Amino acid sequence: MDDRIIKLMEQTGLEKPEERIDGIWFASQTIDRQKLADSVHKLELRLSTATCLERGDGEFDVLYHFVHGSLALNIRVTTKNQHLPSLAAFLPSASWIEREMNDLYAVEFDGHPDPRPLVRPAQVPAGFFRKSVAESLLKESEAK
Amino acid sequence: MPYKLPLGPLHPAFEEPYKLTLSCKGEIVEDAQVEVGFVMRSIELLAQRRNYIRDLVLVEHVCGICSNVHASTMAMAVEKIGGITVPDRARYIRTIMGELERLHSHLLWAGIGAEDIGYHSMFMEIYFLRERVMDILEAISGNRVNYGMISLGGVTRDITDPKSILAMAEEIKKGLEKVVIPIFTQDKTIIARTKGIGTLSKDDALMYGTVGPLARASGIEEDIRESFPYAAYDDLGFKKVVLDSCDVQARVVVRALEMMESIRLIEEALKNLPSGPIRPEQVPLTIPDGEATARSEAPRGEVFYYVKSNGTDTPARVKIRTPSFVNIPSIRAMVKGQYLADMPLIQASIDPCCSCTDR
Amino acid sequence: MNNWWINAILALLFWPGLLSGALFGWFLLWMSRKFIARLQGRQGPPFYQPFFDFWKLIGKKTIIPNGVNPVLFYALPIIGLISIIFALALLPVPGSSGISFEGDLVLLIYLIEMPVLMDVIAGYVTRSVYAQVGATREAILTIAYNLPFLGALIALAVRLHSFKLATFAAAPISIATILAAVALFVALLAQLKVNPFSIPNAEQEIVAGIHVEYNGLPLALFELTHALETSLLVGLISILFIGPFTSIWMKLLIFFVVAVVVILLTNITAAGTARLKVQHAFKFYWTWGIAATVLVVAAALIL
């Protein structure tokens, strides 16, 4: 396994790495955002993006994708009442990603320094990528 | 007296709509606010409503310039989940398409960069050359912008006559060597306008997570074609271009040298085109349960795809991260203390693509 | 006395004033466009294009931006136009029936500055930030390019012991006149606002700057002023070369040829350069401009 992953595990307390064809996957509920941000910055890992997945029970899985060269690192966290602590407070590159996620899935990031809408047009509600909202919006536009 | 100067959403220097609100003092810019979202089309959501075959066509429309790389990266992710292997000839053709696209995108960027500093003659020269690249793309794929070349497991059309395309590539190479590169690296007015302008330090570049030529001009040694080769880059050998002067001129030079490397890759790939099929005989319509990420180097930087499949013919989630999405916020770090006159050039130097950013 | 008035009106309206000045200016502007187009592999407009541009603008409805004084909005281009017509009438072109008196050079310099001043004011009154930035740039550039421009004219005046333009037109060609022509040419690039000094009207930076809020008739007047300015400034260089010739037709021919050559040189420079920044332009004029001025003065006094 890559040195960076071992160092990252030491510094942030991530455990149980799962190696797959497209990189290393972690799942963690308790990871400290400040430690993670400091650690990835030291190790020159760049935050590629974060993906939001609907779980079906009203909560969301958020996957943080970090990359460095051939190394791809994915960290999965789950929201609690559609809330997550913000990574953007410590890592500027997460700012737009979290703002966009808030627009599309209405996941709230606590402690985000600049929580304005990013891509959402004013006439649609936040979270319009959620299955239920998207379906109803579609029906509405078809009815017109 | 400080004042606010809006650039955009519609502005003569912008290719696409986005808004920069500059706080200026005289001709000095003190801060900038970036706003995007003017061309949002919800492509990620649409992709979750179509099957994989239609999705490849859909994601091509994320960007009008780097369309091929989106389809090929999506295909890479789906191929990873489905365990589909791509035949050698298709890998080479994908590489050729990718590099032609880079050439066409960098030339487009160079033209717009020249236009932004009022160098119309250069703009005309470069667009003339770009027209030749589009002729090649048309000869190969039948299309000039959205090529429709990628299918699951391979490509849709074969290159039947590599020799004629080699000859066309030779013509472009001459144009690059004689006109574009000398002017961009030696012309006095261009150097006066680009040197030491819009500096993005390596630390800032890392903080903002910038990718592509922008990152490589700030000394970040990252090119996925070299560090994690896909398509045929492993076979062809690839040398990345990294500079550490961090200014607009470095970005110009990185792109200029990348164009030369692209031409070399295209010629190499055309000369060594392996024989064989261009796609597997049977491509499954449904993809098994699973999730995968895929990355490839678009002209503007690294494209990232995450695809989750639920065993049907429709993906459960497609996440697209385009290079401009991480590059555009870094404008803020570049503009502080710069002259207003440099703003069009600084924003152009990252090659912002708003259709990509908003999706 | 009656004769003097007729001559003055002829000079103002026909030769070298409004009518011929506009035609000559449009011709020169068309030549620039055509020449640049051919250099860039484009077709370029037909020769009557500048006239059509002007005519089209006149036919358009004029919209006065909110909060702008309409009198001022119209008065600025009119004042600029009138001053440039008077300046043209002073130009001692061959065959001019014009007004000529000792000291007309000083008046000419004042009149040439008027449209520039009107431009700057227009930039400020139209309440657009782009126009204001453009106006600031134009004001800064004026200070820069006037150095070689005034330097060359004053040096020539010192050499010829006269502030009368007719003396300039009659003077023999010497090293001093050639150097003065070069200095005037250097200033001309910024006066015509072409590359690399197309700074106040930079389209990509400040959306064409000063005239961004102007439209319709007032814009047409500004464009006409620009055409007249072109013929005046180019003509000013041309008259330095017509001295040695006696026949009026020969004089006219040389005047015309020099003007065309000057315009072509301007456009070769414009086509081969990118736009500089204000501080670059300022530095250029205050180093090379001073060098040119010193040379002209030295040549005027010594040679």
The answer, for A133 touching chain B at a CB cutoff of 8 Å, is no
All residues of chain B having their beta carbon less than 8 Å from the beta carbon of residue A47 are 209
Q: Dump pLDDT digits (tens) for C226-264.
A: 899 999 999 888 888 887 788 888 888 888 898 999 999
Instruction: Report residue B7 as tokens.
Output: 């650039």
Query: In the predicted model, is pLDDT for residue B137 greater than 80?
Result: yes
Query: In the predicted model, is pLDDT for residue C98 greater than 70?
Result: no
pLDDT at C242: 84
Name the residue facing B228 among A63, A70, A119 (closest C-beta): A70
Q: Dump pLDDT digits (tens) for B293-312.
A: 888 888 888 898 988 888 88
Whether B3 and C129 lie within 8 Å, measured CB to CB: yes
Query: In the predicted model, is pLDDT for residue C97 greater than 70?
Result: no
Name the residue facing C274 among B13, B125, B190 (closest C-beta): B190
Q: Which of A37, B11, B204 is nearest to C130 (CA)?
A: B11
Q: For residue A18, give its domain range.
A: 3-143
Whether C278 and B116 lie within 8 Å, measured CB to CB: no
All residues of chain A having their beta carbon less than 8 Å from the beta carbon of residue B306 are 49, 51, 63, 65
State the pLDDT confidence band at B1, using cuts at 50, 70 and 90. Answer: low
Q: How many domains does chain A have?
A: 1
Q: Which of B229, B264, B240, B266 is nearest to B100 (CA)?
A: B266
pLDDT at B278: 83
ipTM reported for the complex, 2 dp: 0.85
The answer, for B198 touching chain C at a CB cutoff of 8 Å, is no
Instruction: Report residue B202 as tokens.
Output: 């390596």
The answer, for C195 touching chain B at a CB cutoff of 8 Å, is yes
Whether A74 and B293 lie within 8 Å, measured CB to CB: yes
All residues of chain B having their beta carbon less than 8 Å from the beta carbon of residue C42 are 124
Distance from B36 to chain A by nearest Cα, in Å?
Answer: 6
Q: Mutating which of C33, C277, C279, C284 best tests the B interface, going by the most B Cβ atoms within 10 A?
A: C277
Architecture of domain B2-358: Orthogonal Bundle (1.10)
Spell out where B135-269 has E strands: 150-151, 154-155
State the pLDDT confidence band at C78, using cuts at 50, 70 and 90. Answer: very high
Q: Which amino acid is residue A98, in one-letter code?
A: E
All residues of chain B having their beta carbon less than 8 Å from the beta carbon of residue A63 are 306
B354 annotated as a binding-site residue: no
Do residues C39 and B121 touch, judged by C-beta distance below 8 A?
Answer: yes
Q: Dump pLDDT digits (tens) for B219-245.
A: 888 888 888 888 788 888 788 888 888
Q: Dump pLDDT digits (tens) for B171-220.
A: 888 888 888 888 878 877 788 888 888 888 888 888 888 888 888 888 88
Q: Dump pLDDT digits (tens) for A76-109.
A: 888 888 888 888 888 888 888 888 888 888 888 8
The answer, for A76 touching chain B at a CB cutoff of 8 Å, is no
Q: Dump pLDDT digits (tens) for B95-112.
A: 888 888 888 888 888 888
Whether A41 and B227 lie within 8 Å, measured CB to CB: no
Q: What is the CATH number of the domain that holds A53?
A: 3.30.460.80
Long-range contacts of A60-65 (CB under 8 A, 24+ apart): A60/A105, A60/A107, A62/A101, A62/A107, A63/B306, A65/B293, A65/B304, A65/B306, A65/B321
Residues C178-205: what's their mean pLDDT? 81
All residues of chain C having their beta carbon less than 8 Å from the beta carbon of residue B120 are 36, 40, 271
Distance from B269 to chain C by nearest Cα, in Å?
Answer: 33
Listed as ranges, residues in chain A with pLDDT below 70 are 1
Strand order across the beta sheet in which A71-78 lies: A18-20, A23-27, A71-78, A60-68, A46-54
Q: Closest chain C residue to B197 measured between Cα atoms?
A: C277
DSSP assignment letter at C173: P
Query: In the predicted model, is pLDDT for residue C202 greater than 80?
Result: no
Cα–Cα distance between C187 and B66 in angstroms, integer? 45
DSSP assignment letter at B218: T
Residues B47-73: what's their mean pLDDT? 87
pLDDT at B223: 83
